[in-house]
Structures are given as C-alpha cells and as structure tokens.
Amino acid sequence: MADSSFDVVSKVDKMEAENALNQAAKEIEQRYDFRGVGASIAFSGEDVLIKANSEDRAKAVLDVFESKLIKRGISLKSLDAGEPYASGKEYRIEAKLKNGIEQDVAKKIGAVIRAEAPKTVKSQIQGDEMRVSSKSRDDLQATIALLKGQDFDVPLQFVNFR
C-alpha cells in the first residue's frame, strides 16, 4: 500500500489580506479620531505601509488593521510589524505578511515530529513547506493534532491530505 501524506504550509490568502487592508483604510477615512492626522494605510509592493503624524496615531492605525485581519481569519502570527519611525514630519510603520515556513522553524517542526509523533511518521523539508508521510492515516491525523497543539511562530495549515 502506498504511503499517505500531507503538506504543512504557512500561507496568507492574498485576497483576504487585501480585503482587510481596504476595510481598514475605509474605517480610517471615516473615523473622527483620525481626521486631520494624515493617517493612511496602503500596500507598498509586498509590504504594508502605515503613515500618521504621531507615533500613537500610527499604532492606532496598525491596531485597526490587526482587527480587520482577525475578522478575515488571518492569524496575527503572519504579520511582522516594525516599530514606528520618524520620516520627515510623519511617523511610519512597515509591516510584512509572512508566507512560507522558514528553515529554522521547519527544523523545529521536524524535531517535534521525530520526538513525539508515532514512529511510522516521516517528515521532509521541501523549500518553504514540509511533507509529512506515513503508511497509517491515523498516525498522520495524530500528527496533525500534535502540531496544532504546539506553538510555533508561524500559523500552520495542513493541505493535500491523501
């Protein structure tokens, strides 16, 4: 019988992130406390750029964006926001949406699988995702439950279960 397998990935749905950003921008335009402070949020290439005339206002814009991401089902673990910094007369925050599992996190996941998962389960790193395979589907489901119980620095999704 062939091995069953699944992939462990960490991806952000680009459309959902764009919708969250558009909703946050709309709320910032309409809210009274953001009037006249030059507050804005927009994509700058792959990154998100937040601008305001004070450090507190920039953090408040980031707060609005985070709440919209949560409502859209995107984990805040995938948002990597920097600290506010002064740029001329305004403050800026640059934030990145993390995609893919970094090498060191993949090694931690592999170590957890080797240490705690059933012995028939094997894992291998494939670029920015991980393939987990076993002869037993029950062992794979136990491994998924094990990984969901762990706290890694990235949100994990389990795809291609076959």
CATH 3.40.50.2000 fits 4-11+101-159, yes or no: no
User: Rounded to an integer, what distance in angstroms lies between the CA atom of residue 43 and that of residue 67?
Assistant: 17
What does each C-alpha distance from 89 to 31, 38, 54, 85, 153 come to in angstroms?
22, 10, 9, 11, 34
What does each C-alpha distance from 36 to 23, 47, 135 come to in angstroms?
19, 25, 62
154: left (phi over 0), alpha (psi -120 to 50) or beta: beta
Q: What is the pTM of this model?
A: 0.83
Superfamily of domain 14-97 in the CATH hierarchy: YajQ-like, domain 2 (3.30.70.990)
The H or E element containing residue 138 is: helix 137-149
Residues near 76 by Cβ (< 8 Å), separated by ≥ 6?
Answer: 66, 69, 70
pLDDT at residue 2, as a whole number: 59
Q: Which residue from 56, 80, 58 is spatially nearest to 69, judged by alpha carbons? A: 80
Identical fold between 4-11+101-159 and 14-97: yes
pLDDT at residue 148, as a whole number: 87
Q: What are phi and psi of 28, to 5 degrees?
A: -65, -40
User: Rounded to an integer, what distance in angstroms lies between the CA atom of residue 153 and that of residue 75?
Assistant: 11
Q: Domains of the chain: which residue ranges?
A: 4-11+101-159, 14-97
> From first to last of its 162 residues, what are the pLDDT tens digits of the chain?
458 888 888 888 889 999 999 999 999 999 898 888 889 999 887 889 999 998 999 999 999 999 999 999 998 988 999 899 998 889 999 999 988 888 888 899 989 988 888 888 888 888 888 998 988 888 888 888 888 888 888 888 888 888
pLDDT at residue 8, as a whole number: 87
